[in-house]
Structures are given as C-alpha cells and as structure tokens.
Chain A
C-alpha cells in the first residue's frame, strides 16, 4: 500500500476510485432493473408462486375478497351465514340472489340466501344414494353444481358416479348415470358408457355447466372426458384433440364455446361445445408446473367484457385469462403459507380454492374448499391499470380478450 501511494499520482487514484464506483453503480442498476422486471411480469411477486407461462401481477389486484359464509373449522351447521359450517365445499352456482353450494364432505347441497344457510338436499354424516326430498335424499361427496334455465339444480354426485337433479319443488332424482360394479368396500367404481342418460356411466363426475337450452356439460374426471347431455337425450363424449387428464370444471360462453380446466397437468382446453376441444396455449407457452385449475367462471369486471377467471388449487390463487396469458388477481400463493384472509386481492388468501361461479354485478363466488368457506370476489374495481408501463420500465402486454359472453354457472 505504501508503494502504491508513492507510485500512483493522486489524480489517477481518484479516477480509479470513480471508475470502480461507476462499475458498482451500473451493476447494481442492472440487477435492480432485472429484479423489478421479473417482479412485474416474469414469475412472482411478493414471494407468491405463479405457474409457468402466467403473468405475475402489477396493478391488477384490484379485487376485494370477502367471506360470506362459513368458518375455517369444518362442520355441519345451518343458520346465519357467519355461524354456518361447511366441510370441503367444492363448487358453487348462482341463480338470482341464491348461492348454491356443493358441500362435499357433508354430502349435501346447501343454499345461501339473505344471509342464511340452509340444506336443500342430503346432509347425512355418511355418504349414500337415495332419492327423496331435502335431507331424506342421500348424496356422496358432491363436487359440482349448476342451475338450469328452468331453475332445476344439477349436481355432480361424484362418489355415486351419477348426475342428480333437484327440481324446483325440492325433489331429488337421478338425471343421468347407471349403477356400476362395486369394490370390496361396497363402493361403486364408476364406469364409462355413452347412451341414454339412464344407462350411461360416469366415473367421478366433478364439474358441471348448463346452457340456455338445458344441455348439461359434465367434467367426467375419472374418465378423462367431457360429456354432453341434451335435455332428455343421449349422453355423448365431446371429442378432444389430445388427452384430458382429470377435467375438473366446465364453463360456457355465449357464443357457443366451452372452456375446460384440467388438473393436475394444469391445462385449459377450449373449443366449440360440439368439439373438438383444443389445448389453450398462452403466448406460445403451455401453462404447466404447479398450476392446478380447479374452477373456472366467466365474469365481467370493471374493464368491460366477460373474461375467464381460474381458481388454482396448487398456488391457492385466482387468475384471469387476458386473451393470451393468465394474470394473478388475488391470492398470496404457496400451499404451505396460505390460509384465510379477506381484503384486497394482494392480501387475500385461500386454501385449495375450487369451484367458481359468476354472479351479476361483476362478482364471482368461490368455494374455498380447504378453508371451508364461501368467498365473494368483487371485480368491479378491476381494470384501472390494464394499460401502461410496469415498474422498472418494461411494457406489459395487456390486450383485452374478445367478447366471450357469460356462462350460467361453473362447477
């Protein structure tokens, strides 16, 4: 050091120090820029996980999440919404001012109306299979629900491998599905057979959607298929260009298209309702990895036309499909850390979110299965930040999706 001080002129020393400082500043700036760009659009924010090919949030967490019924403890209790208990609510459907809930581990269909929760079908401690009215009817782990144009409620009676219906007068009957072989525990194994509704067979039907004509679409998870049941008609299988894994939810658009969520591969499929279904590709990338879409619904938000919302049971988040990519709108992500928190989309937390259903007034309802809660997601404030520059200077693509219309319900 002494030698350096003697040999290097003071001016050169200062220049060297400045050069080192400048290099450090440039490096720091580049790293900072890269981090900000990554946080804005490349794969995570605030520690949250997002699936591959999914855009991370910027200003889009403008939703408000509110618990409307249930408590985080599992149980079975009717009454005022805040005191009501559910056990693994798997799907919701909305008709008028009533939210219908497929309460899977209570083997029941519940209704939320005017702040009161009531059981409208099933509700026994053990699964069963019986027609009847109200609690005399027996169900087995229903995981899908949809309301038809005439007010008929369709249920994916998953453990019984059948589609059940509740007529407006409250009578529960079997709409489609025949008996299948049983295992040594006496449980039906399910089967696969197209044909007349009374003879057709299903295996773990999960998601349901019904169109304006009363045609029912079934995400037949155990058969890796989407089935179609026209009113009083014959069950058929919608062709697919590829192979479905476990389709979990179905959603219909007003212009005759169908969306299907497929778990656990994390794939969305779409096509005309008559098929064939094709794998949705977002911006050239498949949506894979930890993405496990359990529920889908089309809903309008503050930005305008209906768009597809997706409940991801792997990252415990809700995403929105923006033409060519998915955007995180609510949830903190991370299966280990998620719990139940109400509030803005950036603070809200879910646990194994499953069924989604759109309601009027830019609102979607969510069956927060792991938290045993029914949540309400208000989308009316969304859209204010859809255009513009993201922090750090990167520009985010934000094309509005084409008008897809609203599905009646989604399981």
Chain B
C-alpha cells in the first residue's frame, strides 16, 4: 500500500497471495511475490519493482524463493532468505542446519548471484542476522552467533558482484546497528560505565577510513541506533538522543516515560514509538476523544 505523506486514501501498489520484503528508494518500491507453483512444482518468487507515482510494475528477476528482507542502493538490490533446518530438532547434524542466503542483482534486473551463505556447517547454534544496507557496492549485515563460549556479534560485508565475506567490525555485546551512506554505527557495551550489562555506548565508523569513534555513552542496554540524513540518533528507553562525534554534544531531544508500552498522552497530543524497517521513530498525533478516555483510564 502507499499513502501520500500529507495524508489521504491509501492505494494498493502490489497485490499477491504472499508479498515479502520491502525496500524504498528514489520513488520506487521493491518487493518479492511468491509464485505458489511453478512448472517444476517447486515454489518460486518474483522480484518486482513498482513505481510509487505510476504504479507500473516490472519483474526484475525470477527467484527460487521469496525474500525475507530487501535492501537497495543506486546500483544494486540485495536480499536475504533464511531456510529452515532440514532436520528440525536435530542440532548435531551440521549438514541439516539452517542457512541464510544473501543474493544480489543489478538494480535494473538480471540474474541474481549468491554472495554469501551463512550458517550450515559453520556453527553448532546460530543467532540471527539482519541486512543493514548497501554501500560502496557491498552488502553489509549484522550477525549474531550463539557459541558455547557466548554470543558473538559482528558486522560483515560481501561485494554485490561476488567475492569473499569480510568482517568489518567485531561487536560482541552489541544489540543493533545502522548504515546510511558511508556511515556505520552500532551499539556496544559501555566502557565508561564499567557495567557492560547495564549501559551501552554507540560507536561510529566511516567506511574507507580507519578508526572507530564512540559517539554516545551511558545509554540503556537496549538502545537502538538510527541514522537519518547523515546524523546519528539513539532511542534509549523513552528518550530520543542526538549523537555526535563530539561527546559533549550528545543531546536528549525527547524524554518520555521509560519503556513506553502504550501510546501516552502529553498535553493535547499522544506520543508513541513506532517500529520502522530500520530503527524506531517517535510519532505524535492530536488526541482523539477515545485516546483521552483511554489515557485517563491508564493513568
């Protein structure tokens, strides 16, 4: 569905039994649509682009399976698909372990290329992974591995045109990361607080340049970092922080009640956190009569 920023009636851009993965880039939406049954009786999917203005749909590629997540850049589209274990509940058979496959294709379409296969024989147990985006013709992702020694977290990349996987940063104890342009940020246990389980810091790396900077600290352990128009933000409990390479410029933009579980009324407006594709956003809207009643009840 699409709706103008100024509001209005939503309209359908794409329809299908199962649509999965969604990326937006320069007036175009990308998604995959499952094909229930193909000629060889194996399920397949289409990678589609849709113009937000005209609704024109183009099939960019035919895939063996739909995407779980799609990211885009000026030149590339990349997506991931996680496969269930072949023998559910049998953890010691490495060959049957779940795998996540990352593929990429040129933005104008073509033959998709497998650029990384994660899991399988690599580890006994695995955590999750999330694509962060595409920068400098490489797909970046955030990866957690559960090992007998503890959880291992890393940010890795692989070229969209194929090649080896490279580790960009080892970020043990990290909970989330974000990529925008050439800037990569991620959370890490706080070094200043001396209590890594309780407080987080946010670290920043500029791709192609050496060095990692701490741009925020003393944040909640569940902090979610966010990049927008080159600026770094962090959502920490009920607060929204603007982060800066100069630590003294770390500023709280909004302080809300800790861990907002429900929309809360403040003055004549209702505030709530919204889960976005990447990170969190703080949203507000005028209080309706119903919201006033609900707010009074909850209070």
Q: Which residues of A contact B (CB under 8 A)?
A: 72-73, 88, 90, 104-105, 107, 127, 140-141, 143, 158-159, 183-185, 204, 206, 221-222, 245-246, 248, 263-265, 292, 294, 313, 339, 351-352, 354, 369-371
For A313, what are the chain B residues with a Cβ–Cβ distance below 8 Å? 91-92
> Is B94 touching A141 in the complex (CB atoms < 8 A)?
yes
Number of A-B contacts (CB under 8 A): 92
Contact with A along B57-101 (1 / 0, CB 8 A): 000000010000000000000000000001111111111100101
B87 with A222: CB separation less than 8 A: yes
B194: CB under 8 A from chain A? no
> Does B117 sit within 8 A of A, measured CB to CB?
yes
Of the candidates A72, A104, A245, the one whose C-beta lies within 8 Å of that of B93 is: A104
Subset of 13 A-B contacts with CB under 8 Å: A88-B92, A143-B92, A158-B93, A184-B64, A204-B93, A204-B96, A221-B96, A246-B87, A246-B88, A292-B89, A313-B91, A313-B92, A370-B125
Nearest B-chain residue to A90, judged by Cβ: B92
Selected contact of A143 from candidates B89, B95, B99, B149, CB within 8 Å: B95
Interface size class of B (residues with CB under 8 A): 20 to 34
- Chain B residues near A263: list those with CB within 8 A: 89-90
CB atoms of B148 and A370 under 8 A apart: yes
Indicate if the CB atoms of A246 and B121 lie closer than 8 Å.
no
User: B residues 95-112 with Cβ under 8 Å of A?
Assistant: 95-96, 99, 101
Question: Measured between alpha carbons, how far is A185 from B89 in the docked complex, in Å?
Answer: 23
B23 within 8 A of A: no
Tell me how far the C-beta of B167 lies from the nearest C-beta in chain A, rounded to whole angstroms. 17
Are B91 and A352 in contact (CB-based, < 8 A)?
yes
User: B40 to nearest A CB, angstroms?
Assistant: 10
Shortest beta-carbon distance from B90 to chain A in Å: 5
Q: Are B86 and A90 in contact (CB under 8 A)?
A: no
Asked if B19 is an interface residue, CB under 8 A from chain A, the answer is no
**Residue from B91, B92, B101 with most neighbouring chain A CB atoms (10 Å):** B92
A141-B121, A222-B87 known; A88+B148 contact, CB < 8 A? no
Determine if B50 is an interface residue (Cβ-Cβ < 8 Å). no
CB distance from B42 to the nearest CB of A (A): 9
Shortest Cβ gap from A292 to chain B (Å):
6
Shortest CB-to-CB span from B116 to chain A, Å, is 11
Tell me, in angstroms, the Cα distance from A40 to B96 when the chains sit together: 38
Please report the C-alpha to C-alpha distance between residue A204 and residue B94 in the assembled complex, in whole angstroms: 10
Q: Are A264 and B148 in contact (CB under 8 A)?
A: no
Instruction: Return the chain B residue nearest A141 by Cβ.
Output: B95
